[in-house]
Structure formats: C-alpha cells, structure tokens
Structure 1
Amino acid sequence: MVAALIGGTAAAATWGDEDPPEDGGGFPAEQLTTMFQTYGDTSGTWLGADRTASVTLPDGRILWLFSDTFLGKPGADGSRPRTSGLINSSAITQTGAELGPLRYGGTSAAPTSLVPAGKDADFAWVGDAVVTGESVQVLVNRYKRSGAGPLDHRLTGTTLATFGLPDLTTGPVRDLPLGTRISWGSEVMPDGEFTYVYGTEVAGDMKFAHVARVRGTDLTQPWEFWTGAEWTTAEDKSARLISGVGTNYGMRKIGGRYVLVTHENNLTFSSEFVAYTAESPTGPFGGPHYLFTAPEVADGHIVYDADLHPDLARPGRLLISYNVNNLDEAVTYGDASIYRPRFFEIEWPLDGSSDEGPDVPEGLAATPDGAGVASLAWQPVKGDDITYRIYRRDISDGQTHFVRLVETPGGATSFRTDFLVNGHDYEFAVTAVDADGGESALSAPSTMRATVPPPSAPAAPQVETLPDGRVTIRWESIAFVQLFKIFHRDTTAGQDKAVSAGTYPGKSATIGPLSSGHEYDITLVAVGGGGDSKPSSPTRVTPIVAKPPAPGQPSAEARSDGSIRLTWPQVAPGLSYQVFRRDLTDGGDYGPPGIADGTTFGTGRLVHGHEYEFTVAAVNSGGVGERSPTVRATAKLAAPDEAPTRLKADPAAGQVELTWRTTGSNWYWIFRKDLTAGEREFTREEIPAEGTKATVHGLVDGHQYEFTVAAFSDGGVGPQSKAVKAQIPSALPTGLAARSDGPGAVIVTWKETRPGTLYRIQVRDATAGEQWQTDPFPVSGDRFDKTMLVGTHRYEFRIQLADGTTSDTVGVTVE
C-alpha cells in the first residue's frame, strides 16, 4: 500500500498581487517558474524536484507530481545543504493561485516517497496521471540501479497507484502486467472514448515513443497497443512512433491536431525543445518544429522531460515545463535553484509566414573526410544574406526524423561535422534561410557511413578532496567528446582493477565517498563515436574524511508490539548510524550498538514496562561521530487485540485435543466449562499453551465441556475465541446382560467400549430388598461370574467405573 499522505507545514507560495485571470486565461510561464522558485526557497519542505506532471482535479485544484524530490530549505548562501533528505516521489496541490502543501509518505520526522518502490526495485519515478471516477490514478515506473553513475539504472516494471478524491487519500497500488521494454506513463491523454497512454523505449542511445489505450479513463481496464497498423492486446507488438523523445513528454489534441512536445533527444544533451504534429494519436508525425532553446545548457547544466499543461496555458499558447539538473552533484548542491522546474510558452499554432522561403539547396554531397568527420558541400542558393542549416538522421539507430544540428555553416556552402558513431549510416540534408528568417524545405538527402576511431586518451584529471570523503574530478574537454567515464583504484587495499564510478558529461564530476586514509588512483576514459579511449594517466589522491557531526534530537515512539521506533534528522546523504541503548529500569549501561542505514531504527520487542534511553551517532569512513542528545521511552506491549479463530476440539478418553489458528502470538490461555456438572463460568487452565494446539487432561468421561482460547502477552490477555463444545466419551460398557445357567450361579456379560478398563461389579438381592454391594475384586474383560446365590431370588447387577459412574441395571432370577 502507498504510505499515508501527509501535508507539509510550510507556508504556500502565491502570485502576490498578480493573480491569474478570472476568465480562465491561464498563467504566464515566467510567473509559474517564479512560483516554484519561491516555494522552494520558503516552504521549508520542498527544496526542488524533477518530472513536473500536472493533472486538473474535479474541484479545480491542480495536482503537481514529481519524481526525485529534495526536502528541507536552502542554506543562507542559496546552496542545498548536504543534510537535505531525498525521496523518489512527491506531490504538491495548487488551489487557485496558491501552491502547497507538499504531500509525501511516512511522517514529517521520517518522510518517505509518495509511492514505494516495491521489492523488485531500488526506486520508483512517477509518470503521468488521470482522474477517473472518485480517484486519481498515477502511473509509476520502477527501477534498479545498474551502475555507479547518475544515469545508470534499468526498468523493472510499471505500477498504478490510486488516490481517493477529494482528500487524496491513499488507495491500492498494483503492479500492471506490463514488460520492461517500455516505461509507460510518459503522457496520459484522455481523448473521446479512449485514454491514450504514451511510453518511452530506451534502445542504445536512442529513445522511442510508443502508445497504448484503454476504453474510458480507468487504467485498470484492458490495455491495447498500437502495432503501426492496428491495435492489439500483445504489448510485445507495440510499434515505435517517433525517435528522439524524452523519458517524459507532452501530448494533447489542440485545435483539431495532435501536438507532441519533447526535449530533443535525437542529440545527446541537447538544449532544444521541439514539437511534432499528427492527425491521430498514433501519428504519423510531422516535424520537428523548433520551439525553444534552454539557456541553462550554456552554463553546463542538462535539461530534460518536457510536459504540456493545457489547463494552465494562456489562450493561443502552449505552456511547457522542463527540468534542469547537473550531473556533477557538487554543482547541484551548490545552487538549490538549479533543480526546480522551468516553464516557457509558445504561440500556437506557429506563425506560418506568408513569405515563401528561399529555394531549396541542391547538389548536397556528404563524404567521409578523415576519421569520424562528415564533409558536406552543396550549391549556393540565390538571394541576399542567405544562410544555411544542417540536418542529420542516424539511419542505423532507427532515427525517424531529421534533427537540426546546433552548429551552422553560416553563409558558407560547405561544412564539416563530427559526433558520429562508428559504422553508422547517416543521412544529411541542408536548408536555406533568408534574412527574414524564412526557411526552405529540406534538400534531397545525402547518405554516408561513418568511420570513427576511439578518441585520444584524456590528460590526467585534476582531483580535489572534500571533507566528507567525496572527490571532485575535473578534466579538459576533448573535441567531439561529450561523455567521460571515471574509474578509481584503491591502492591501499591492493585493488588490481579499477572500479567504475559512473559516466558523466561536462568537465567535472563528484564521486564517493571513498575510504578515509586510503590512497586512490583516479583515471578518465573519453567516450566517443568510435568507442572508449585508452585511460588517462592516473592522478593519485588520499581522501581524509572528517568524522560526521552528531545527529539532531532523536524522537522515540513506543509501539504496541513492545518495540520502540527511533527517528532522527539526517546528517548527510549516504551515511549509516549506530544506535545505542540502555535499560534504565535495570540500571544497565549502553551495550553494543545497533546499525541503521537510514534515519529510522526499530528495536524489536523489549521488556514490557521498562524505560530505555537511546542515543545515535553517524558513521562514515572517517569513523563514528559524536553522539546525539538522548531520548527516553518506556516499552509497552499491548494486550493482543485479535481473538484466535477456527478453534476445534478432538475428544478422547479423559482428555481433549484443541487446535486453533494463530493470532501471531506465541502463548495462549485455555478456558473450560463442565456443562454436564452445571458449571456456569469458564475456568482457566493453570498451564498456558505455546503454539496453536494443546491437550487438556483430567476430564470426566461422558461429560460435555465447552472450551475457548485467548492469546496473551506481558501486556495482558486478548479476547477469547468463539467457544467450542466437546463430549468426552464414556468408558461404560454396553450390551449388559445376565443369565443363570445353573443352580446359584449367574453370568454377567457386556461389550467393552474401552478395552483394558477395570470394572467394579455391584450386585443386590432385589427379592430380599438388599442394598447395592460392590464386589471386592475389580475385573477386566467382558464377563463376570457370580455363584452361591439364593435360588429363585431375583438379583440385579450393574458396573461401576473408577470415577464412580455406573451403568444401567440388568436383572435375572437365579435357578
């Protein structure tokens, strides 16, 4: 189940004096960007996040959904403190012009992700959502880490989380019967009688869009997948729609046409956002139409995950969000404002200029020009101030549309381009652009196959140690190389082979923490279109890790199972903690510590009624830090609150065997009542039963009993089970008969019900009016012989058991 949603306590961010228009005119993009920046600076809970999906609720509120979310507030210098918590999903509600509260799982002292990852995943990222009936359904993708770098993860499945309306109460979370090729939930688009669910397939360096649909808006209904020609229930037949989409993208029907907006992923770490259009939800798609260039890329950041927000857009415009990050965590921690959504808006439909563009360039020829370079040349186009743009398509990767290269030849009619992949076939095209910005159609394409050698080995990196054992690595850029692999080898530990620390773009990365006092060799490998370079020369570094500071004040919660749950503020991400405990009631000292990987710790069952004291210390490779302030709590084990069920009784001679279904307790009391003896109250057995069965001895043969069972603990006795009755079988024989076969003699016979029983025979002379007399000698078997009786007298016989019970009477007249 989803962890309980709770509301953040921070103040909400508002527009201030400039509220959105009352006529539903929407929000300007700049103000939405400012709103989230303000909320991150002032809320005290939400410090920044990515994904940024929105869904309009029936009451008009907006539910914003986020994936990785930092918690807390920025430092005085605008940085993100290392103590900031990180959860993998969260939500914010927007009411009118007010943003907040933040919603997440767990508690304010120990927050957790809005949607848990599940057993097969390390974390879960939210996709898009849809309102259906009285609930919101959110698609969530589950992932496992596949390496040390920030981009190293693999899909393990898709989950559907449900939240009830209007209070967004938690509902069921169910794993959908979907595979691991496509991360579904990039976009959810209700349209007519269907809801279309878009997904993203990662194939090598390329990402492809897919689409499925359900009838209505309930995503638990059967899914159908588009094959390129028809709908099918077989997910493995799902066809690729277009290439170059992000993990998340926007798709909506606008003005009679379908518009798909995405970050341009046909190029690695592009700064461009583009749109494609189609006549149907399945395409085919025309485009791309270039919408916006993100300025953050020029500062070394990455941008990703576009989404459309039509319910918040101003008339005649597309309102689009995107996310910003930096793959060097030191940069992201240094400026808390980086990791927050941005918004831009574009007039739509795009202005189709009435002026015709210049002529289409002709004579384009693409030829290999040295290792890894394509040389392009074409004939000039008539006109003044004509410039050109270059477009490229990677045929080998299955790229569906041409993508515009960032670099341009200006007015030249030749161009050399790199960033090619060895052995791949490429198509190139060129357009002409006039002084008014009019652009021609694409030229006829020219095709070539790239031959790309690995890049040269990078120079030895520069390395800087940080106090927490992390290491910041900087390197010089290499032409036409966008990615670098970092490796470290612990020479102190005698490692023979370097260990990967991940793949990073840019010119710096921060890895670790590494072991304090150990000497490491740090090397770089450049990743180019021709593969990996040889490693750089190593740079040697010895991290010295300062012991972590003491955690803040812990809190302790006594639980009904007799345990105590501790929580405390995070000191820094990735630390473990030692938890120390002593029993104040017994006057004991602190024993060996427990170990916690996070900021919570459960003690297990403690002694009921004893008061305990706890303190916590953070641990890193530099050692164990100072201990936190102490906190005390008394262990209280509640009485069981569940009655045992399925109580059964199996009677036997003088005893009954009871069995029942466990409540989870180890010990139970047995209660009995002798109905035959007229008992009105249950009597508890003196010895408790362990487990789920017990044998009650010392019962009276032939008596009916009633039994009940109750679990107990140090906290008391729980409710009793439903009573069950049992009839103890009698040992009295049946078929008692007497006959006189000779003078003064009688033979008494019977049928034993319990062989081996000893009987006392009682006899009386009924004719003489005698009282019953008991024969002094017990007998066994099924016969008793009596002699020396008075002839013609009638004698009566009966059998008595050891417990005093007697059989029916039988009589005979003696010969």
Structure 2
Amino acid sequence: MTNSATGRRATGGRPPARWLLALHTAVLLAVGPAVVPDRPGDEPSISADRLTALFDRYGDTSGQWSGGDRTASVTLPDGRTLWLFSDTFLGPMQPDGSRPRTAPFIHNSAVVQQDGELRQTVHGGSAWRPASLVPPPAAAQFYWIGDATVAGQSLQVLVNRYRRTGSEPLDHALLGTALATFALPALTPTGLRPLPVGSRISWGSEVLHDGHHTYVYGTEAAGEARFAHVARVAGDDLTAPWEFWTDAGWSPSEDRSARLLSGVGTAYGVQRVGARYVLVTQQNNLIFSPDLVAYTAHSPTGPFEGPDYLYRAPENEAGHLVYDADLHPDLARPGRLLISYNVNDLDDAVTYADAGVYRPRFLEVAWPRRRSDPGDLPPPPADLTAVADGGGHARLAWRAPGADDELRYQVHRRDVTAGQTHFVRVGEPVTDPGYSADFLVNGHDYEFRVTTVSGRGESRPSAAARMTARVPPPPPPGGVRAVAGVAGDVMLHWDPVPFVQLFRVEQRNLTTGERSRSLVLTHTGTSASFGSLRHGETYEFTVVAVGGGGDSPPSVPVRATAFVAPPPAPSGLTAAPRPDGTIALTWTTLGPGVSYQVQRRDVTAGERRLGQPSPEGGAEHTARYLTHDHEYEFTVTAVNSGGAGPMSAPVRARARYTPPTMTPTGLRAEPGPGSVELTWRSAKPGGWYEVYRRDLTAGQRDFTAEEVRVNGTGATVIQLRNGHEYEFAVAAVNEAGAGPLSEPVRATPQLPTPTGLTATAMGNGEVRLSWRSAGPSLFYRLYLRDTTRGETWRPDPYPVQDTSHTAVLLTRGHRYEFRVVAADGTAESRPSHPVAVDVR
C-alpha cells in the first residue's frame, strides 16, 4: 500500500497497512508469456465505470492479480496500456470473494491492458515463487513504484528505494529514487540506476510531458504535512540532467527544491488542460479525508489555486480509507478528468475477507468546471472570531450575512505552524453561525475561514481568524483486554478516548525476559491484531493515546500467551518427472512462518516406510539421486512453531533418465607404468562418465567398459600391460545408459627406465653398482657381460629390491659392461645406458 503510513500494524503473514502513513500524514518473468499485439493500435478512451469493473473482474478471475495500490498508467508505443502497482497481492481468489492468507505479496508489479481488456500480470521471480518486478537492491530494502514514461523503445519507471528500520514491516525510511528501464515491446528488464537525488523527496508522484521538457513531481513528508515539489529534464529521457524548481527559477541542486503546495498524497496527478495545469490529489491537509480535490495554475510550477472539491469517496462511510489519487489522461474521454484512487482498511482482516476492498476505483469529472456567476453567489459571513478553549478546541463565531433560514456555513482551516499552504474544509456545513473545531495540535497556530452555502453555490470566504491551540494530554485508554488466537496472534481491544484519533501500542516478551517495551503499532481504531508471536510465550501490552496535546500515560498492562496451532496438511501436491532423473514437487504454500518436510519411499524397491524428511523453506522441492524407472511416493508435512501438522495426500511419480546426448571432447592420454592418465572436456560440468579400452597389441577388436564409473573429467586406467598399445574412448553416462563415445586416443604404457647407473671396481673380483630409483613398487634386474671374452648379455640370477648391488666372482683383469632394468613382476622396462669397468 503506498508510501503512506505513520503507524505499523503488527500482523502475521501479511504486510500491514502502510497506507496509514500517507493518510495520517497527509531475468522479466510473468505468469504467462508477454502479450504483444500483432500491430500497433491506440487504446480507446474508456469510462471510469468500465475501468473499475475491469479490475474487479480481473482480480476475481485471473488467478494472477487480486489487488494492488498506487495505480499509475503509461501508454506503450504499440498501443497497450501498462498499469503499474506498488504493494500487490497475487494468486487466485477464494470462492467466497475472500483473499487467502497465503496469497503471495510483493512490493511492485504491472498489469498489461490490450484492446480494452486486462491480459496479464507481470512480476519477477517465478509463477511458483513470485518476486517484485523491480527486485530489492539489498537485504531489508525494497522499491515502491512511481510514475513511468516511454523514451524511444525503452520504458522508464521511477521507483523509490526504502530500507527497513525495524522488525515490523512498516519500519522503513526513504533512501532515494532510482530509474528502472525495460526494453519494449517485451518488457524485458534492462537496467536499474540510482538517480543523483537525496532522501528528502520521493520523486515520481507524476511525470508530465509539456513542451520541450518533461516535468517530474515528487512528495516531501515533513511531520504531519506533505508537500509537492517539481523537477524537469530537457526532452523525454529521464536519464538527462535534472534541474529543480526553486520558486525563483531552475537549479541543478536538489537542495534548493522549493515546496509548491501542501496537502498532496504520495501519488497525485498533474495534467495540462488548455492553458492551465490541474493537480488532482486526495486531500492530505486533513487526516483521513475522503475528499479528492483539484488545484490549478498557469504554469507547471504554480502558484496553485484551490482547492476545488471534486469528489467524496463513499468508501470512507463504510469505514475504509482512501488515498493516492492519480490522473490517466491517455484513457480519458474528451472534456473529462479520469481519476483513480486506492482503498484499504485499518483492519487487515477486511482486506482478506473482501478482496475487492484493496483495488483501484475510477471516476470521471467534467473539466473545466462550470463556474457560477459571482453575482448569484450568497455573501460571505462577517466578523469571524476564533478562540482557544484550552481543550484542544477552537470556538468559532461569525455574523450571518442575512436572515435566510436556508443558508448553511462551511468552515475551512489551515495549520500555519505545519506549513499548510491552502485551507481545507472541516466537517459538514452547519446551519448556526458557530462551530467547535477539534483535534487541534498543542501550540500550533491555526487560521479559519467560513463560507456561506446556498442553492446558488458557495460564497467567497470570510476574512480569516487566527488562534493558537492549547491542548492538554489525553487520559490513558481504559478497558484494555487481550485475546489470544490460534495462529500466533493476539487481538487487543480498548475503549475510545474522547477527541483522540491515534493510539500507540507497545509490547514486551515476558517469557524471554524483555525488560523494556517496544513500539509495535500506531493505530487509529480501538482494536488491533498482532501476529508472528511465538508459541507458548507470554506477552504484555500497553496502549498510549496520542492527542493534540501529546501522549497520555500508558494504560494498565494486559497479558496474553500466544498459541500457534500446527498447520494443516499442505494441499495441491504435484510430482513432475524431469529428463535428468529428478522429480520436481510443488504444493500450495501455507504462508509465512511455515516450513515443510518432504518424505519419500521407493515403491518399486518395495520400501514400506517413508525415509528421512528433507526440510524445505518454500513450497517446492527437487527429489534427487533416484533410481531409473523406479516409482516413488511422496508426502509433505507443514511445520510451524506449534509443531508439525498432518501429512499431505501422497503423490507418485516414476523417475526416468534420458540417456546423455553430449559427446566428450578433447580426450588426451598420458601413459605411465602399467597405467594411462586420461583427461577430457565436457560441455556440462560434473556428471558421470564411462571409460572404454581395448588392447590392440593383443588383437582385441571390441571396447570394454571399466568396472568403475568416473565423476568428473579425468581418470587413471591401471593394470595395463607395459609395452602393449591400447585405445581408449569416453562416454557420458547416467542411469538410463551411456551416450555417444568420444573420438578414441591411443597410448602404450611403459615401465620407467632406471637412470644414473654407476660401477666401481672394489678389488677381489667385485664391482659396486648403484642407480637412481625408477619409482615406487618396482624391483630391478641386473644384466652383465664379459666383453674381454666377447660374451652376450646375461641376467644376474637374483632380483634387486634396492637401488644398489655388488657383483661378485668376476674375473680379474677382464672388462665388464653392466646395465639395469626396472620390473614389476610381469614386464621389464627398457635397459639403462650400459657402464663399463675393469675388474681388479
């Protein structure tokens, strides 16, 4: 709900009503493929009643979008209209028209309108796990939507960035404004760039193309007032340099941006009609006003005159709140303003029980307005006085302009201290020349005016009367009581306090030993629901009344012990086999605060019991490491702080692998002693492979697979015959079989040849031999020959385990040659270089 909350609603599972602030203080993924028309065509003008009905029908039947706020629109070059929303509820409705508590909630989205119909919801994430269209820039941050424009073939959307400042969803602070861009016509995200502006003004309340410039309006929140600002760029591209209106001219410094007028909402509309500019907003000079008003000026920078009261939203009479008015000139019928506004309720249970509450409404107003002849209007009241009575009231009195019993009087008020630039209507017209204005703020200066109302119209205002309010603090609320629910929630009730509209609720957790209370809610009603409380823990609550004179003392504290019923069995469990042998499970989420446990059994293998549960934080799971062509049964259990609920109804699916189609490439073979080191490349990292070989020297014609499969892109083949030539190939493999063989390579394993052989004559017919090791797990054989006698090579009869040996019983005076080979018991290496020695 728009950036408009002064308080926080402590509710579990649903983002609280952040619209309260404005009212009090004033990778692209979609559910379906992008809808792109075959040919461009402009959306025709459309009536307000039809637009309201379109969104009601789409929310009820689309199964994609059930409600949202902000409601900006932009016409795309192909004729489609894109509706942009900030806080958005997704998912289908329930048959009774309610919104399920498990409905997905995101901070921004869009809906595509084509040929007069709403066609598609656009958001980020996936259909199973939707996310905001403009994703958060960091943890505990998010974007709310401003207005948008088209520059060339790019959609530019102004978004305001917020940071959470506490544990409650409404604890947030403005950080700045960014520009999100999307390629057209597919609405593909192309960028998100921060704009060089600060955090005082949320820019994007309106984007207005006028002449050679594009004007960007923004809103500044200052205490309980909101003020309009304006910047501009040359041309249509919002990436161009910005300059800001200073009340005397334009400056490149945002710090010099001047206030145009007070009483605007976070969103408002500005449109040029003829030679004048009209600004339409929900009246924010008065708390919770249901009035939509217009201000006019001869320039987009003002000064603005008004207000001109256009419409009083009837939803206010039903206890709802209205906010964020906007204009949609591209769809308006001639001679009319097409206005949207948003609706919500202080009790979030209402927005769930009746999904139609949280949707835009549209209305049309004839413009320019017909003005009464000033000569026909009644005269204004005279001699207006305003006196503070010390109770937060101003007693007004005036002299009636005549004795006409049909005359009525409308009171108007301006809070001078708060910086309000225009007067606002207070209450309904009265028949007597006197009035008591209440809900004033202590120490604030107020100005009052009164107009005369008759069948001929409303008079000019009287001269203003000024006074300073004196307001004592209110008494503490009484009758505070707390009732625990079954979902970790507590409903708190208290009695009304006269002349108080606002209350603050604080809580502390007695079970965890919290010593100080923390603020959990600023609220306007006399009952509120608090969620996300921990099962079995006791909480203490107090209520403070906030009046014009300050805060009351805290109420008498009350306690409640939270209870969380275990969740029901998940529904909608489905199991879909994938080509990689996994099975994808999905089910209907039960909302925040719930995790899940997935269990399975192999039906084909005869397993009778479910296996160990696999935890999941969301409503999806991928079952892995399954046996090909086996049928599996799955169930899901939901778990919350109250424990585990019952199992879902089981589903079955058969795991099936598709044999690999990928062929390994770049196979290389590095021979070693009785082994070959193989390496290869794969287009898919990881995975399993089968290695094949054949002994060409032995005449083998067919490949034989190695007994052990390989995970990765390398393998060592052992127990090969040295000196034999082998051919090798590799294939990717899974449980369905092997894929195509790689190109083969050949290699011949060889034992390493000893090196560094030396021979030293020792005397007595002995020679000492030594050499360097050829490697582990090898032994050596010595070969010798008496060259004096002309002998051929003969082996020494005994193998040598070490790298040295003494040859004995040699003939003195004869020359001998020696060489050494490495052996492994099945083969010998090539001999070392021979060495010669004369025996002594």
State how far apart, in whole Å, the 2-side matches of 1:193 and 1:124 are. 30
State how far apart, in whole Å, the 2-side matches of 1:717 and 1:260 are. 71
What secondary structure sits across from 1:407 in the alignment?
strand
What is aligned with 1:484?
A: 503
Query: Is 1:417 aligned with 2:437?
Result: yes
State how far apart, in whole Å, the 2-side matches of 1:644 and 1:251 are. 63
What secondary structure sits across from 2:496 in the alignment?
coil
What is aligned with 1:589?
A: 609
State how far apart, in whole Å, the 2-side matches of 1:488 and 1:261 are. 40
What is aligned with 2:108?
A: 89
Match of residue 285, structure 1, among 304, 308, 325: 304
State how far apart, in whole Å, the 2-side matches of 1:160 and 1:723 are. 56
Mapping for residues 746-761 of structure 1, pairs under 5 Å: none
What secondary structure sits across from 2:652 in the alignment?
strand
Mapping for residues 181-220 of structure 1, pairs under 5 Å: 181-219=200-238
What is aligned with 1:298?
A: 317
Identify if the C-alpha distance between structure 1 residues 618 and 527 changes in structure 2 by more than 3 Å, giving closer, same or farther.
Answer: farther
Instruction: Please state how far the C-alpha of 1:404 moved relative to its aligned partner.
Output: 0.9
State how far apart, in whole Å, the 2-side matches of 1:8 and 1:71 are. 17
Moved more, 348-357 or 107-116: 107-116
Instruction: Please state how far the C-alpha of 1:322 moved relative to its aligned partner.
Output: 0.5
Identify if the C-alpha distance between structure 1 residues 82 and 709 changes in structure 2 by more than 3 Å, giving closer, same or farther.
Answer: same
State how far apart, in whole Å, the 1-side matches of 2:179 and 2:194 are. 7
Moved more, 405-414 or 56-65: 405-414
State how far apart, in whole Å, the 2-side matches of 1:107 and 1:640 are. 28
Identify if the C-alpha distance between structure 1 residues 532 and 556 changes in structure 2 by more than 3 Å, giving closer, same or farther.
Answer: farther
By relative contact order (CA 8 Å, sep 6+), the higher-ranking structure is 2
State how far apart, in whole Å, the 2-side matches of 1:666 and 1:319 are. 60
State how far apart, in whole Å, the 2-side matches of 1:164 and 1:194 are. 23
Match of residue 172, structure 1, among 162, 184, 190: 190
What is aligned with 2:589?
A: 570
Match of residue 259, structure 1, among 257, 274, 278: 278
What is aligned with 2:5?
A: none
Instruction: Please state how far the C-alpha of 1:348 moved relative to its aligned partner.
Output: 1.1
State how far apart, in whole Å, the 1-side matches of 2:616 and 2:414 are. 52
What whole-Å deviation, never above 9, does each CA across 1:464-520 have from its counterpart, x for those lacking one?
Answer: 554544333343332332222234455566654445432222333222254556555
Match of residue 665, structure 1, among 686, 700, 706: 686
Q: Would you say the 8 A contact 1:580–1:591 is kept in 2?
A: no
Q: Would you say the 8 A contact 2:382–2:462 is kept in 1?
A: no
Q: Would you say the 8 A contact 1:613–1:633 is kept in 2?
A: yes
Q: % of aligned pairs identical?
A: 48
What is aligned with 2:421?
A: 401
Q: Which amino acid aligns with 2:596?
A: Q
Query: Is 1:618 aligned with 2:644?
Result: no
What is aligned with 1:439?
A: 459
Instruction: Please state how far the C-alpha of 1:563 moved relative to its aligned partner.
Output: 5.7
What secondary structure sits across from 2:330 in the alignment?
helix
Instruction: Please state how far the C-alpha of 1:806 moved relative to its aligned partner.
Output: 12
What is aligned with 1:524?
A: 543
What whole-Å deviation, never above 9, does each CA across 1:541-574 have from its counterpart, x for those lacking one?
Answer: 5565544332212123456777654321234x43
Mapping for residues 682-701 of structure 1, pairs under 5 Å: none
State how far apart, in whole Å, the 2-side matches of 1:716 and 1:363 are. 99
What is aligned with 2:373?
A: 354
Identify if the C-alpha distance between structure 1 residues 81 and 657 changes in structure 2 by more than 3 Å, giving closer, same or farther.
Answer: closer
State how far apart, in whole Å, the 1-side matches of 2:487 and 2:346 are. 19
Identify if the C-alpha distance between structure 1 residues 309 and 722 changes in structure 2 by more than 3 Å, giving closer, same or farther.
Answer: farther
What is aligned with 1:461?
A: 480
Moved more, 407-416 or 295-304: 407-416
Match of residue 621, structure 2, among 599, 602, 608: 602
Instruction: Please state how far the C-alpha of 1:401 moved relative to its aligned partner.
Output: 1.5
Query: Is 1:389 aligned with 2:411?
Result: yes
State how far apart, in whole Å, the 2-side matches of 1:692 and 1:233 are. 59
Instruction: Please state how far the C-alpha of 1:324 moved relative to its aligned partner.
Output: 0.7
Instruction: Please state how far the C-alpha of 1:242 moved relative to its aligned partner.
Output: 3.1
What is aligned with 1:269?
A: 288
State how far apart, in whole Å, the 1-side matches of 2:507 and 2:529 are. 12
CA root-mean-square deviation: 6.0
What is aligned with 1:33?
A: 52
What whole-Å deviation, never above 9, does each CA across 1:625-662 have from its counterpart, x for those lacking one?
Answer: 22211223456788999999999999999999999999
State how far apart, in whole Å, the 1-side matches of 2:117 and 2:358 are. 21
TM-score, reference length from structure 2: 0.72
What secondary structure sits across from 1:632 in the alignment?
strand
Q: Would you say the 8 A contact 1:481–1:528 is kept in 2?
A: yes
Identify if the C-alpha distance between structure 1 residues 580 and 400 changes in structure 2 by more than 3 Å, giving closer, same or farther.
Answer: same
What whole-Å deviation, never above 9, does each CA across 1:588-617 have from its counterpart, x for those lacking one?
Answer: 73345444444x233475346465433223
Q: Would you say the 8 A contact 2:541–2:557 is kept in 1?
A: yes
State how far apart, in whole Å, the 2-side matches of 1:217 and 1:647 are. 57
Identify if the C-alpha distance between structure 1 residues 519 and 697 changes in structure 2 by more than 3 Å, giving closer, same or farther.
Answer: closer
Mapping for residues 652-801 of structure 1, pairs under 5 Å: 665=686
Identify if the C-alpha distance between structure 1 residues 315 and 692 changes in structure 2 by more than 3 Å, giving closer, same or farther.
Answer: same
Q: Which amino acid aligns with 2:592?
A: G
Report how many aligned residue pairs link the two structures: 786
What is aligned with 1:249?
A: 268
Instruction: Please state how far the C-alpha of 1:323 moved relative to its aligned partner.
Output: 0.8
Instruction: Please state how far the C-alpha of 1:576 moved relative to its aligned partner.
Output: 0.3
Instruction: Please state how far the C-alpha of 1:392 moved relative to its aligned partner.
Output: 0.8
Match of residue 2, structure 1, among 18, 22, 28: 28
What is aligned with 1:69?
A: 88
Q: Would you say the 8 A contact 2:414–2:420 is kept in 1?
A: no
Instruction: Please state how far the C-alpha of 1:304 moved relative to its aligned partner.
Output: 0.8
Q: Which amino acid aligns with 2:409?
A: T
What secondary structure sits across from 1:509 in the alignment?
strand
Q: Which amino acid aligns with 1:256?
A: A
Identify if the C-alpha distance between structure 1 residues 370 and 614 changes in structure 2 by more than 3 Å, giving closer, same or farther.
Answer: same
What whole-Å deviation, never above 9, does each CA across 1:222-276 have from its counterpart, x for those lacking one?
Answer: 4414151555555555444333222222122222322221112222222111222
Instruction: Please state how far the C-alpha of 1:584 moved relative to its aligned partner.
Output: 1.1
What secondary structure sits across from 1:138 in the alignment?
strand
State how far apart, in whole Å, the 2-side matches of 1:490 and 1:40 are. 39
Q: Would you say the 8 A contact 1:329–1:509 is kept in 2?
A: no
Identify if the C-alpha distance between structure 1 residues 176 and 414 changes in structure 2 by more than 3 Å, giving closer, same or farther.
Answer: same
Query: Is 1:336 aligned with 2:355?
Result: yes
State how far apart, in whole Å, the 2-side matches of 1:723 and 1:684 are. 13
State how far apart, in whole Å, the 2-side matches of 1:289 and 1:603 are. 60
State how far apart, in whole Å, the 2-side matches of 1:460 and 1:6 are. 52
Moved more, 616-625 or 259-268: 616-625
Q: Would you say the 8 A contact 2:599–2:636 is kept in 1?
A: no
What whole-Å deviation, never above 9, does each CA across 1:264-320 have from its counterpart, x for those lacking one?
Answer: 222222211122233333333333322211121122211111111112222111110
